[in-house]
């Protein structure tokens, strides 16, 4: 897994990148009550807003960590947004994407570096 300063994680799965938020981010959000996912087939650029999450505390946008195409979304989150609180780095992934420029992955942190970052 790789991690961003925006508290997202990325995991390579058979050539596609699976994207979600970290345990730390889920804890900061509080109880998630709504998740709006992008449409499959959407082409995104790094830092585009792609997911909206609403919790009892706030609404947050999840940004595209890299350039690419959304190939699959986790539709289970629409029916059960609380999954984000239960398993943010597992079953509660947001979307999968085909990365246009794999070199963009080089700037992300390892888990050890991320844990140091959140201190």
What is the reported pLDDT for 24? 96
pLDDT in tens, 36-66: 999 999 999 999 999 999 999 889 999 999 9
Give yes or no for residue 109 having a pLDDT over 90. yes
**97 neighbors 66 (Cβ within 8 angstroms):** yes
Q: How far apart are CA 53 and CA 77, in angstroms?
A: 10
Q: How far apart are CA 32 and CA 51, in angstroms?
A: 13
What is the reported pLDDT for 58? 87
pLDDT in tens, 81-97: 999 999 999 999 999 99
Q: Provide the token pair at 117.
A: 């970052």
Helix (H, G, I), strand (E, B) or coil at 88: coil
Residue % of the chain over a pLDDT of 70:
100
Structural fold of domain 2-101: OB fold (Dihydrolipoamide Acetyltransferase, E2P) (2.40.50)
Residue 87 burial by CB count (10 A; 0-12/13-18/19+): exposed, middle or buried?
middle
């Amino acid at each position: 897994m790789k991690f961003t300063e925006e508290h997202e994680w990325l995991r390579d799965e058979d050539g596609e990148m699976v994207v979600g938020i970290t345990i730390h981010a889920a804890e900061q959000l509080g109880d998630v009550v709504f998740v709006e996912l992008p449409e499959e087939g959407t082409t995104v650029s790094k830092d585009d807003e792609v997911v909206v999450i609403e919790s009892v505390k706030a609404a947050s946008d999840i940004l595209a960590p890299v350039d690419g195409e959304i190939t699959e979304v986790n539709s289970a989150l629409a029916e059960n947004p609380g999954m984000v609180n239960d398993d943010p780095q597992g079953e509660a992934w947001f979307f999968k994407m085909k990365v246009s420029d794999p070199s963009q992955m080089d700037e992300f942190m390892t888990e050890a570096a991320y844990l140091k970052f959140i201190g």
